[in-house]
Chains A and B, each alone.
Chain A
Amino acid sequence: MAHKFPKYKFKADEPISCEEINYNLRQVKDEVSGRLNEHNIKENAFTDRSDAEYDFTLHVNNEVVSFDPALAGEYASGSLSSAAIGSYPEEYLIAPDPYTDDRVTLSNNSEWQTIIQYEKYTGNSLLWVLASFQQQLYEAGVGDSAAGQYAIRIDGVIVDETVTGGLDRANDPYGESTRCQAYPYVLDLILPVTPGYHLIELVGRVPMEGDYVQPPGDTYINIFNRELIILTLDPESEAVDGDTNNFAPLVEGDAITGAIMRAPFDSIKDDMNSLDYPAIQPESLTAVHVPTTVVNSGYLAMGQSVTSTYTNFYYRYDDDTINAVTGWQYIGDGTTTLFLDTITPIDLSSVTIAGILVGVDIHVTHIDSDPGANFFESYAIIGVQFRDEVGAWHTLGKTERYVNSEGEFAVVSYPVRKNIGLRTFITIDDIIPYSEVTGLAVVVAVINRDALFTHPVTVTLQQGSLWFAAVQAGS
């Protein structure tokens, strides 16, 4: 490890001893056999990611369920007409599955239940777990107080720090859960783990209501779009057989010729010129040596003091349309738009690029409704669009997240003050038949589900950001 020095300097009038030559050469040979470390490798020695195994430092896995909540009145199966939905929207948004679908409805028995899970084999690694999901609450009775509580569970153990709400209801009878009707949660966790298989789960439960009463049976907490992203830092290394260039020591009696001398030197030269994985001491290189695994990244933020309003109606799930009346609009504050169209193309068909980690956070200040509408049915929806290699923009349905006004009937302008958070990992599976991502943008739309396109809704946004990081990683 570290710097190693030949011991003997060859000086005039000293015998040409094969033992000392061998000793000197062996110092180098020994070191290259697996003890090279941070001190032997020059700063920024590996500037090209292709110099290293693409999965040497990071694995990314994601489990995702994309679900159409029929916000605009169409059901994912397409079996119902929009007119019927307009009359009884909550049946499709809220009620348990009359049709086969992928929603998760939490049982009301206060037990933790799995929403989405992934099992990952790791080494002595650091897990970064991100969970991003859409909650929708429905309760039939007036005055009920049911709400959801969520957490990340690792190998069957809830990590307390990830639990939403409080752990102590004695100080706040409603404190265990955060009561929101429509709310997109983001949880994340960084945790060191030991080698082996690890079950990573996003879990949820419905705590008792404030009066210690189990929520009524017609209270449903549904989870629609949901994604569990697992980044494994310093993953388990695969066994690699290194090339062995046998070192042939000089022996007494060998002729002092160039050919004889070259043999041991060549074995070292060959090692040095083709350093392989086993030559480096595990975990000894640092960020000063290796290239970043972030292939491409970007960040945009809207200002704190400027608000912007949007009235464009949400058209349907996973729709691409940009339209000021019915369709999406890009989000901006007049100065900055959360719209990145100058990204160096990211080829997700490459085996070395695992995908693009994307984060969006938007603050919703108000949702204003038409006086004639049911205000709590007013929704603001955001989503992420990507631009393909030919320049067309596409919405990723799995990224759609929304909040509702939860307003009272007589209040037209309701201060929502909610954040819409989103984390997603875009892979080649998300963009097929395309292969490249050349742009990313955040879009917004509104809808009043009570009467769909007839009741105008205005959402006011303030502050927001979009960031992405395309990563070279294994899985």
Chain B
Amino acid sequence: MSNGQLVTDILPLRVETDGFLAPAKFAARIENMVATSDGTLLSVIGPSRYDPHYDEAAWGELHGIYHCLLMGGTRDVLLIQDGGYIRVHKGWSQSWAALVGPEGSGAHIESTIHDHAGIQFPLQCESTPTGVVIVPQGGRAFFYDGEVILPLGYDRVPGAPLSLGPESSGPSSTQANDVGYALNRTDSAGYQIYQHFGYGRVGTGFYTTMADGTGGIDSAGGVNHGRYQYAYQWVDYFGNVSPTSPRSATVDISTQFGAGDKPEKFLKQLVVQNLEDGPVGTIGKDISRTKDLINSGTADLFSIPTNVGGAVLSTYATVPDNVSRRYPDNVPDAWLTRKPLMPRAVPQFKLCRFAYGRLWIGNTTSDPGILIPSQQGRYGTFLAEDEMFPDAQGAELTGIWLTQQGMLAMTETSTYLISMDETGQRFRSGTLDPGKGAAAPSSFANMPDGSCIWMGRDGFYQYQNGKIEYISEDIRDDFLTVNTARMKQATACYDPTYREYRCWVPINGERKNSLCFVYNGTGWTRRTDISANQVCVTKDHRKYCLAVGTAVNSSSVAKKGVWLLDHENQNFTPQDRTATIETGWLEPFRSDEKKSPVEMNLWLRESHNSIATVTTYRDWRKTNPVVTDTSRATMVLQADIPPLYNTTLYGQAGLPNQFVKRRAFWKKVPIDIPGAEVYKIKITTTARLEFIGVRFRERVHPGTGRQE
């Protein structure tokens, strides 16, 4: 301070706070500005239409978007949910193919997808090593490998098969196994196996001695009383296995023997039939059978091997087709070694995440608090025995996310860490924080420092190194504007280009996510360039931030579509959008002494040959601006005007006719706020603005504060 004047430090104003008495380096509002790699703030540009040739009027309600690379990274897949359709982008024909659509739509899979604008999670998708899981809310989940799309696993159980075996016409030993499907080598009643075809193999044989009726002893072979049951499962194109069918009725083999005979003479061949054809995508039927229920000591089912040699290409199912409905079974108990998987029918679920080599699904229609892992490599096969309820009270899961420390499963009010136990095969759930949860499953994003951020009911949280921290204290007041009824539809991503976490939320009772809170790792800003139903970042080298939703054009008409953020080109001219930098109330702790700001030094980088509006306020009131200046804050230095588009001519002498890099400059803007307790400045423009910092010069008036 000298000569009654004070010159403030340069205020960078990179993040905002709604704190009443915040340090001057924090802005009260930074809107529609992004941080550049040069360390400046630049007006948000764009968006652009991702598919400018597509008829905007053809879109239904756009519920979601997801990008992934499949087939070893060679298949570039962009998915959207458009009303009742799941579509995939076909750049080669500038169109969108319907993977899933309603009946009669001609989509690859005709299935009803819930389509309404009510409160719901956005479309959930998750990449796996072999394909992408697509989970429309309120409908069946699907699996798409880049070429083939099928419902994820099986949601129903095959019907019981019918087993056939021998029956006995009467109670005597000579009437044993002589009718029905009696196939053996007994040379008596029933069907006989041709001698060149060997013997039956099913049954528990025995070999003993018996009186020969003449006082001597003769050897005797036979088959013991035995029982068998069958069941089967469907196997789909992706290797998923259906629930096991109910078991068949029991096939009984009666005790049968003969003096001087070998036991194998009495062994049987059985048959199982009524093997129902599986739904679309089924490529095999895996048949299982019990061992002899009476003699083996186990009632478990075992898969019947494809063939004796165990051909590697055919081990996925006993019957490698979806046509055969009958299977003659001549497999002995000794060949039954592999127990079939016992999956559950795939439930309708809302959330999923890929972790530990498995797909985890949660929040099913019947059990909102359940979490179920798939089999490794079979992402639509969920064993009946594998499930957990992270929340002991079964509260609804509202988020599943993979972090460096393990997988987080959250309810609205609590967080659990799912980790692998020592065996590497089982999982356990531990309470990480009983008081912090997630409000929106699509609000999660991983940050480059290894942390992850998401939105809870009262703000944003960050998880790192085993701790959850509240990170939105600076916008706590603004967060109160979020429409709490629709929090679950919030959507977020981490933009690696700008190194920002961005989360779109509905505010002030709106139904759409119209406001984006932006976190750069140290503080918050906001943007309003688009109303995003869902966003994603492409997983390829482009790192594009894409959104489905609406953007308002230069005619003030809201347009639906797929949008590329932070890019602008000729295919879409957005409505003029105001970029704002507003300081907090400056010098609040010197408000007992009046001061008169007289000048603002504005550091900019030349951006547009126009003038930003500078509005000044004083003494905690924004009702009446002190000054609204529209003539001083030029965004190019008038003394050194660069070559400008639409005024510079190719090679014309006398004009600035060299390419430039946009230079930095400072600009004095007189502001006259006499005798203020506190003051603030707001800089706004709809043109391009690149902001470096601001500094104020004020005259101080010691001892002039109010005395009351």
A interface list, Cβ under 8 A from B: 1-19, 21, 35, 37-43, 45, 159-161, 163, 166-168, 170-175, 210, 250-258, 260-261, 281-284, 288-289
Contact of B540 among A2, A253, A282 (CB under 8 A): A2
CA distance in complex: A142, B389 (Å): 74
Interface secondary structure of A, over-half rule: loop
Chain B residues lying within 8 Å of A42, measured Cβ to Cβ, are 92-93
Please pick, from B50, B648, B662, B688, the residue contacting A3 in the complex, using a CB distance under 8 A: B50
Per the 8 Å Cβ criterion, residues 158-176 of B in contact with A are: none
Min CB distance A149 to B, Å, is 12
Q: Which residues of A contact B330 (CB under 8 A)?
A: 171
Known: A3-B50, A4-B542, A284-B74. A11 touches B658 (CB 8 A): no
CA distance A255 to B72 in the complex (A): 46
Asked whether B642 lies within 8 Å of A16 as measured between CB atoms, the reply is yes
A16 touching B659 in the complex, CB below 8 Å, given contacts A4-B542, A168-B307, A284-B74: yes
B contact residues around A250 at 8 Å (CB): 659
State in angstroms the CA–CA spacing of A6 and B660 once bound together: 19
Task: Tell me the nearest residue of chain B to A172, going by C-beta.
Answer: B197
Q: Is B570 an interface residue (CB 8 A)?
A: yes
B57 contacts A by Cβ under 8 Å: no
- In the complex, the answer to whether B92 meets A39 with C-beta atoms within 8 Å is yes
A9 with B45: CB separation less than 8 A: yes
In the complex, A16→B652 CA distance in Å? 15
A253/B198 in contact, CB under 8 A:
no
The 5 A-B pairs at the shortest CB distance, nearest first, are namely A39-B91, A160-B311, A168-B308, A167-B309, A18-B659
**B-side interface size class:** 35 or more
B645-667 vs A: 1/0 string, CB under 8 Å?
11110110000011111100000
Whether B659 and A8, one on each chain, are in contact in the complex, defined by CB atoms closer than 8 angstroms, is: no
Roughly how many angstroms separate A8 CA and B650 CA in the complex, as a whole number? Answer: 20
28 CB-based A-B contacts, threshold 8 Å: A1-B76, A2-B91, A4-B542, A6-B567, A8-B45, A11-B608, A13-B610, A14-B644, A15-B660, A15-B662, A16-B644, A16-B648, A21-B659, A35-B541, A39-B90, A40-B91, A45-B92, A160-B312, A167-B308, A167-B309, A168-B308, A170-B308, A252-B661, A253-B659, A257-B650, A261-B650, A284-B75, A284-B76
Are B74 and A282 in contact, with the CB atoms below 8 A? yes
Is A43 a contact partner of B644 (Cβ separation < 8 A)?
A: no
Establish whether residues A171 and B650, one from each chain, have CB atoms under 8 Å apart when the complex forms. Answer: no
A15 near B642 (CB under 8 angstroms)? Answer: yes
Contact (Cβ within 8 A) A15 B312: no
A1 near B607 (CB under 8 angstroms)? no
The one of A13, A37, A38, A166 that contacts B644, using a Cβ cutoff of 8 Å: A13
Establish whether residues A39 and B198, one from each chain, have CB atoms under 8 Å apart when the complex forms.
no
CA distance A270 to B102 in the complex (A): 46
Name the contact of B662 in the complex, choosing from A5, A19, A41, A43 (C-beta under 8 A): A19
Bound-state Cα–Cα, A13 to B541, Å? 32
Residues of B within 8 A of A (CB): 45, 48, 50, 71-72, 74-76, 78, 89-93, 196-198, 201, 307-314, 330, 538, 540-542, 544, 564, 566-570, 606-610, 636, 642-648, 650-651, 657-662, 687-688
Interchain nearest-CB distance for A347 vs B (Å): 31
Contacts of A172 in B (CB 8 A): 196-198
A253 to B659, CA, bound (A): 5
**Min CB distance, B208 to chain A, in Å?**
24
Contact of A283 among B74, B538, B607 (CB under 8 A): B74
Chain A nearest CB, measured from B183 CB (Å) = 12
A220 to B557: give the CA distance in the assembly, Å. 86
Q: Chain B: which residue is nearest A4 at the CB level? A: B542
Q: Is the CB of B76 within 8 A of A256?
A: no
CA distance A256 to B74 in the complex (A): 41
Docked complex Cα distance between A3 and B567 (Å): 13
| B607 CB contacts on chain A under 8 angstroms | 14-15
- Report the minimal beta-carbon distance from A20 to chain B, rounded to whole angstroms: 8
Given known contacts A13-B608, A14-B645, A7 and B566 CB-to-CB distance under 8 angstroms: yes
Q: How far is the CA of A170 from the CA of B334 in the complex (A)?
A: 14
Indicate if the CB atoms of B643 and A167 lie closer than 8 Å. no
Q: How far is the CA of A4 from the CA of B569 in the complex (A)?
A: 12
The reply to whether A9 and B570 form a contact with Cβ atoms under 8 Å apart is yes
Asked, given contacts A2-B76, A4-B542, A8-B568, whether A18 binds B201 with beta carbons under 8 Å apart, the answer is no
What is the distance, in angstroms, from A405's C-beta to the closest C-beta of chain B? 22
**B643 contacts across to A, CB distance below 8 A:** 15-16, 256
Q: Which residues of B contact A283 (CB under 8 A)?
A: 71-72, 74
Contact check, B570 vs A171: say whether CB atoms are below 8 A apart. no
Say yes or no: A173 contacts B196, CB within 8 Å: yes
Given A5-B569, A6-B567, A256-B643, check contact A173 B198 (CB 8 Å).
Answer: yes
Q: Are A37 and B658 in contact (CB under 8 A)?
A: no
Alpha-carbon distance A398/B50, docked complex (angstroms)? 58
Q: How far is the CA of A7 from the CA of B92 in the complex (A)?
A: 22
